[in-house]
Structure 1
Amino acid sequence: MTASEVRVVACGCGHWGKNLVRNFAELGVLAGVHDVNQELAAQFAEKYSVPALSWEEVLSSTDCNAVAIAAPAELHATLGVAALRAGKHVYVEKPLALSKDDGIRLIDEAKKAGRQLMVGHLLQYHPAFLMLKELVSKGELGRLQYIYSNRLSLGKIRREENVLWSFAPHDISMILALAGEEPNDVRSTFSPILHDQIADTAQVQLGFPSGMKGHVFVSWLHPFKEQKLVVVGEKGMAVFDDRAPLEQKLALYPHKLNWQNGMPAPEAADAQYLPLPEAEPLRLECQHFIDSVAENQKPRTDGDEALRVLKVLLAADPAAARKGGGDRFPGVKIHESAYVDDPVSIGEGTKIWHFSHLLGNVEVGRNCSIGQNVVIGPNVKVGNNCKIQNNISLYDGVELEDGVFCGPSCVFTNVNNPRAEIERKDEFRKTLVKRGASIGANATVVCGHTLGEYCFIAAGATVTKDVPPYALMAGVPAKRIGWMSKAGVRLGADLVCPAEGTKYEEEAPDRLVEVTE
């Protein structure tokens, strides 16, 4: 295959993805764009004269043979595996995944599919780092003794991940590339400042079998921006300062360390700035991906390299391995402030957000979203594709089928006549919410009832009896005030959904069915 035959769909057009779209377009290989924000995708499609595709269209397209994924890290494994199984070469932004198991799964899928897997460790393509790596490989600095990296700025402050996962993958990748070995000792210090659950600064200390030491300091609460990599060797030192002008980005310091009377005596030397070619690192990285696909050669930052970085991140942040989906739940995103007891099963693609708690004997299906401050269990079953908004408790006796929406602070009871001082666990009554039902914010569902398929419970309503399929319920107690279609649109007198044209008919005063041709 030639480079011109590589056709890339950029999946993600947001904060960083837009840069990938631009570079692949300027390199002449952009075959399309995809983003969950369809309006944003349409803007970029128009700008670069390419189609805006759904994810399903990306996977089935015969016009593209590669995808570049710039999506939230919790989706890297799910999207990457799907693309590889569809026969696409995959470029994915850092980190490779959020668990070791997911990282290995991506690598195995790439090998099985015979496709290239590359991870966006951008600074390994920076001209300054490439020259620094060459200096080290030629022995210009002698045996390496110490490498440290600072990546500091004021913002961008995130709440979906801590500063280690946001900033440090680049630094760890560079240090491992220079060391040529993996650390056998990883220690870390985290400082949550703005929020007691998410670190705003982090320090990681690395020890290597050769005796070399490493240090990474990252912070998004720093008065100025600093991006420096300092390499200390027996024969000299080097500094890669990515904030400096091009002619000063890479400095070589041929310092010497003399010994006098058994004491070290440093002999300082002036900096020697090394000339660098003017090139955009991201452009070089994108071109490397194109060449790797065209020549069927492993990229410099392939899955194995990225897995080594991921292992250091997990060792430095035990909370991520313990509370994140990790090896317990491959393909699942669990925020570090959430707790998941045993035994629990969670389907791939599900996300569990801040301060939520899943108790024992809970089953949660695939691609669910569980909001903040949610309690589920014990003995609760949640189907696939459910959305459970903030401040909801699903206790023993509640079952949600597929596609159920629960609005913020809606309430499910499980005993009809509770008393604080009287235990009535043997009186729990089952509540079944059937496929596609929607429950509005602050609604209450009294236990022992069934909510029919695609019914719609208005905000603030109180359900005290069984609800027919498609019924629109409102009030206290809730009464049927109309019918709703599968698409969530109120039906008029003709019982035809104005959104999708589906026809319905009343078989009885309280029974609506979909008309099938």
Structure 2
Amino acid sequence: MTSSNAKVVVCGCGHWGKNLVRNFAELGALAGVSDPNQALAGKFAEEYGVPALSWDEVLTSDAGAVAIAAPAELHARLGIAAMRAGKHVYIEKPLALSKADGEALLNVAGETGRRLMVGHLLQYHPAFLALHELVKKGELGRLQYVYSNRLSLGKIRREENVLWSFAPHDISMILALVGEEPDTVTSTFSPILHDKIADTVQVQLKFPSGVCGHIFASWLHPFKEQKLVVIGERGMAVFDDRAGWSEKLTLYRHSINWGGPVPSPNAADAEPVPLPEAEPLKLECQHFIDCVTEDKQPRTDGAEALRVLNVLLAADPAAAKGEGAARFPGVKIHESAYVDDPVTIGEGTRIWHFSHLLGNVDVGKGCSIGQNVVIGPNVKVGDKCKIQNNVSLYDGVELEDGVFCGPSCVFTNVNNPRSEVERKDEFRKTLVKRGASIGANATIVCGHTLGEYSFVAAGATVTKDVPAYALMAGVPAKRIGWMSKAGGRLGADLKCPIDGTQYRESGPDKLEEVTE
């Protein structure tokens, strides 16, 4: 019987997460499922007889561990929150998308004493385990060269390039075999189907011991190939994951004759290496359970995963600078801007000069963040928001979709600040609802809500809740009229002068759109 400490909630039930759900269930360790798509989570919950949980419910559940199969930009945030809630954490590859995120995960694992494991699946494959043992025993002699091909036709991604999608497994295996990190990493990307997302990549590795490595990954290839070749001074080995179990790992005791003026090869017969047939993912999931119950370090722990991440970042310099598709797909970040970790930013968002996003910030899709903007920590910005120059969004501010913040508008977070008095426990939440606009130099005193499509005039000071569609002006701000959803000031007929939409007053300080 599995102890509650080793009971696992799988967070993310999509393309790969569904396989984790199945394996943890078959191992008797599945405690629940969680996914932003509630219908999908409900489907798996019903199939496996476990509860479908919200993320907050995951953190407060009795389960001792979580398995995270979410988008990689969420790994740090979810993993850190889970470990701080006392959970052991399994994270799908890659560990994170930035070194800072990866180091933060390791630091929290150390602080909390929780196990942190990353899904470098092929390190649990029976063929690789046998290959690693051959190398460790010296069957191949001193290693000289290792190369891998990971090729297929699809699945084509748009959220990451082929390096981050395919290569982590191969990097993980090569580092394990060589036993050291490379001191030189070079790469060649080929974006073919999309001008900013590479469909093929070649990575060259040079190790301090002299071993050379090569990785070729592509999702634009006429046939599937998953092959790792290891060359040593006394023999060679091939791990071919597309072959049958009797041929997945083959040893070649070839040698080189150095007796003549030109070296000549001495070929030997192929020797298939017997292997137990087992599903690598099930072995990986069992390993995680064992590490939790037996308090031992995972084979692919956070430190191992950080070494893999370092190679990925060295191979993709744009990602290392936080500008590439690997960290924030489809996001434009000016080189003078700073983005801390953990932060999530939606596709199509632009962040301009000298702006700074602090930790635990969510920014939606299609936003424009102007110059010298500070956001965070603990701030949420919806989709299609426009935040103009010199605006600071402090702890507790939340902007729903489509909010406009004019230049130098001000948000406070405590009502009676004093420089010499600590009042962080008195921060009050400010909610700006969908479509609202705040004019230049306006001040929004904390603890209030600005209603949908409200309009705060330039220089106004808001000291109370603002009704939906209200036009507010003055110090303190008072309602002086109504604004339409399209941004037109409504006259006595309450008809929008821009798009003709009709409105009506349905109560004191209450306006609604006429829909019938």
**1:252 and 2:246 equivalent?**
no
Q: CA offsets, 1:222-250, max 9 Å, x none?
A: 11111000001111111101011111111
8 Å Cα contact 1:323/1:338 also seen in 2: no
Q: Which residue of 1 aligns with 2:205?
A: 206
User: How far has the Cα of 1:304 moved from its partner?
Assistant: 1.2
8 Å Cα contact 1:4/1:28 also seen in 2: no
Matches within 5 A, 1:17-166: 17-62=17-62, 64-166=63-165
Secondary structure at the counterpart of residue 431 of structure 2 = coil
Q: Percent identity?
A: 57
Q: Which among 346, 368, 382 is matched to residue 387 of structure 1?
A: 382
Q: CA offsets, 1:192-242, max 9 Å, x none?
A: 112222211111111111111111111111111110000011111111010
8 Å Cα contact 2:144/2:210 also seen in 1: yes
In 1: Cα distance, 2:330 partner to 2:511 partner? 45
Q: Which residue of 1 aligns with 2:233?
A: 234
Q: Which residue of 1 aligns with 2:186?
A: 187
In 2: Cα distance, 1:243 partner to 1:216 partner? 17
Give the AA of the match of 2:343.
G
Going from structure 1 to structure 2, the CA distance change for 1:396 and 1:27 (only over 3 Å counts) comes to same
Give the AA of the match of 1:388.
D
Going from structure 1 to structure 2, the CA distance change for 1:102 and 1:364 (only over 3 Å counts) comes to closer
**1:367 and 2:366 equivalent?**
no
Q: Which residue of 1 aligns with 2:270?
A: 271
User: How far has the Cα of 1:469 moved from its partner?
Assistant: 1.9
**1:479 and 2:479 equivalent?**
no
Secondary structure at the counterpart of residue 293 of structure 2 = helix
Greater alpha carbon shift after TM alignment, 395-404 vs 187-196: 395-404
**1:15 and 2:11 equivalent?**
no
Q: CA offsets, 1:428-457, max 9 Å, x none?
A: 7859897232118xxx88767789834223
Q: CA offsets, 1:81-114, max 9 Å, x none?
A: 1111111111111111112222222122222222
Q: Which residue of 1 aligns with 2:476?
A: none
Q: Which among 420, 426, 437 is matched to residue 433 of structure 2?
A: 437
Q: Which residue of 2 aligns with 1:281?
A: 280
Secondary structure at the counterpart of residue 471 of structure 1 = coil
Matches within 5 A, 1:326-365: 333-335=327-329, 338-342=332-336, 344=338, 348-354=342-348, 356-361=350-355
Give the AA of the match of 2:372.
N
In 1: Cα distance, 2:13 partner to 2:84 partner? 23
Give the AA of the match of 1:385.
K
User: How far has the Cα of 1:44 moved from its partner?
Assistant: 0.5
Give unmatched runs, 5+ long, in structure 2.
Answer: 413-429, 470-483, 495-502
User: How far has the Cα of 1:324 moved from its partner?
Assistant: 4.9
Q: CA offsets, 1:296-354, max 9 Å, x none?
A: 0111111111111111111111111102599xxxxx95347522343546573331534
In 2: Cα distance, 1:122 partner to 1:192 partner? 27
Going from structure 1 to structure 2, the CA distance change for 1:308 and 1:431 (only over 3 Å counts) comes to closer
8 Å Cα contact 2:433/2:452 also seen in 1: yes
8 Å Cα contact 2:256/2:263 also seen in 1: yes
In 1: Cα distance, 2:203 partner to 2:265 partner? 27
8 Å Cα contact 1:375/1:393 also seen in 2: yes
Give the AA of the match of 1:469.
V
Q: Which residue of 2 aligns with 1:420?
A: none
Matches within 5 A, 1:315-334: 315-324=314-323, 333-334=327-328
User: How far has the Cα of 1:361 moved from its partner?
Assistant: 4.4
**1:378 and 2:371 equivalent?**
yes
In 1: Cα distance, 2:349 partner to 2:440 partner? 25
Q: CA offsets, 1:366-386, max 9 Å, x none?
A: 4322424x4322234556111
In 1: Cα distance, 2:149 partner to 2:140 partner? 20
Q: Which residue of 2 aligns with 1:469?
A: 466
Q: Which among 444, 449, 452 is matched to residue 453 of structure 1?
A: 449
Give unmatched runs, 5+ long, in structure 1.
Answer: 327-331, 415-427, 483-490, 496-505, 513-517
Greater alpha carbon shift after TM alignment, 361-370 vs 37-46: 361-370
8 Å Cα contact 1:319/1:336 also seen in 2: no
8 Å Cα contact 2:140/2:234 also seen in 1: yes
In 2: Cα distance, 1:114 partner to 1:56 partner? 21
Give the AA of the match of 1:68.
A
Secondary structure at the counterpart of residue 170 of structure 1 = helix
Greater alpha carbon shift after TM alignment, 300-309 vs 344-353: 344-353
Greater alpha carbon shift after TM alignment, 467-476 vs 39-48: 467-476
In 2: Cα distance, 1:380 partner to 1:175 partner? 43
Going from structure 1 to structure 2, the CA distance change for 1:361 and 1:240 (only over 3 Å counts) comes to closer
Going from structure 1 to structure 2, the CA distance change for 1:340 and 1:353 (only over 3 Å counts) comes to farther
Going from structure 1 to structure 2, the CA distance change for 1:450 and 1:355 (only over 3 Å counts) comes to closer
In 2: Cα distance, 1:52 partner to 1:429 partner? 44
| Number of aligned positions between the proteins | 461
Q: Which residue of 1 aligns with 2:477?
A: none
Q: CA offsets, 1:170-197, max 9 Å, x none?
A: 0000001111111111111111112222
User: How far has the Cα of 1:256 moved from its partner?
Assistant: 1.9
Q: CA offsets, 1:375-417, max 9 Å, x none?
A: 322234556111132xx6533366768222344xx877x6xxx
Give the AA of the match of 1:221.
L
User: How far has the Cα of 1:474 moved from its partner?
Assistant: 3.1
Going from structure 1 to structure 2, the CA distance change for 1:429 and 1:185 (only over 3 Å counts) comes to closer
Going from structure 1 to structure 2, the CA distance change for 1:399 and 1:289 (only over 3 Å counts) comes to closer
Secondary structure at the counterpart of residue 321 of structure 2 = helix
TM-score of the superposition, structure 1-length normalised?
Answer: 0.80
In 1: Cα distance, 2:209 partner to 2:390 partner? 58
8 Å Cα contact 2:318/2:324 also seen in 1: no
TM-score of the superposition, structure 2-length normalised?
Answer: 0.80
